[in-house]
């Protein structure tokens, strides 16, 4: 992938997510100049802890996604609890309370599939630790539309089911240890000034 190709990043994570995201998000450059959208599996009654927590420790702005919001660069968006996070063709956010997918709402597959259709070859999808196969179908869609997919090395995942499913069922472009992910993202996305 060439640096100029990447226009957005999506991340899917489940069990073990707080530790995994803590290894990645605070280490991202504040010069990414693109949006990052994240689905972390949450229980329906969860508050905005993730967005609040990461906004304190990241150099990029971090917030909970809002319905109809225009997606901005240099911003990390978390799906709110009990809502699917989707990307519209016009690069705005849509939130939905449609049926659960893979027993989850928010579901990683829904974010990945809608973002793939909006960003096409400019999308980088990242699948991290987790205990089910959510994200695998979304990764297949990203790859069909010429996006780029990174999986956390199963050996560094707290729960390896999700990255293993993605690697074995969908195929990925790159497998990286958790500590390698942020430096790699910075390397492929940060624009030269």
* E strand map for 26-163: 36-40, 61-64, 75-78, 84-87, 93-96, 123-127, 148-152
Active site annotation includes 14: yes
Active site annotation includes 134: yes
Q: For residue 109, say if its preceding peptide bond is cis, omega within 30 degrees of 0.
A: no
Query: In the structure encoding, which two tokens stand for residue 79, read together?
Result: 């799906």
Contact 124, 185 (CB under 8 A): yes
Catalytic residue among 104, 109, 133, 134: 134
Catalytic residue among 14, 104, 133, 165: 14
Active site annotation includes 53: no
Catalytic residue among 41, 104, 109, 133: 41
At 93, phi and psi to the nearest 5?
-95, 140
Query: In the structure encoding, which two tokens stand for residue 84, read together?
Result: 């699917």
The residues that are catalytic are 14, 41, 134
């Amino acid at each position: 992938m060439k640096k100029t190709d990447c226009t957005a990043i999506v991340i899917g994570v489940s069990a073990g997510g707080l530790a995994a995201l803590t290894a990645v998000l605070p280490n991202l450059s504040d010069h990414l100049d693109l949006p990052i959208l994240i689905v972390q599996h949450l229980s329906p009654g969860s508050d905005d802890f993730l967005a609040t927590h990461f906004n304190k420790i990241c150099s990029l702005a971090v917030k909970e996604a809002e319905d109809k919001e225009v997606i901005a660069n240099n911003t990390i968006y978390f799906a709110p609890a009990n809502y699917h996070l989707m990307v519209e063709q016009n690069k705005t956010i849509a939130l939905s309370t449609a049926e659960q997918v893979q027993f989850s709402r928010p579901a990683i597959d829904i974010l990945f599939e809608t973002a793939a259709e909006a960003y096409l070859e400019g999308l980088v999808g990242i699948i991290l630790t987790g205990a089910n196969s959510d994200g695998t179908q979304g990764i297949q869609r990203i790859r069909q539309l010429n996006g780029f997919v990174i999986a956390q090395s199963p050996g560094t995942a707290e729960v390896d089911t999700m990255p293993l499913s993605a690697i074995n069922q969908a195929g990925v472009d790159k497998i990286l240890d958790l500590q390698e992910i942020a430096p790699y993202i910075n390397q492929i996305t940060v624009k030269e000034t």
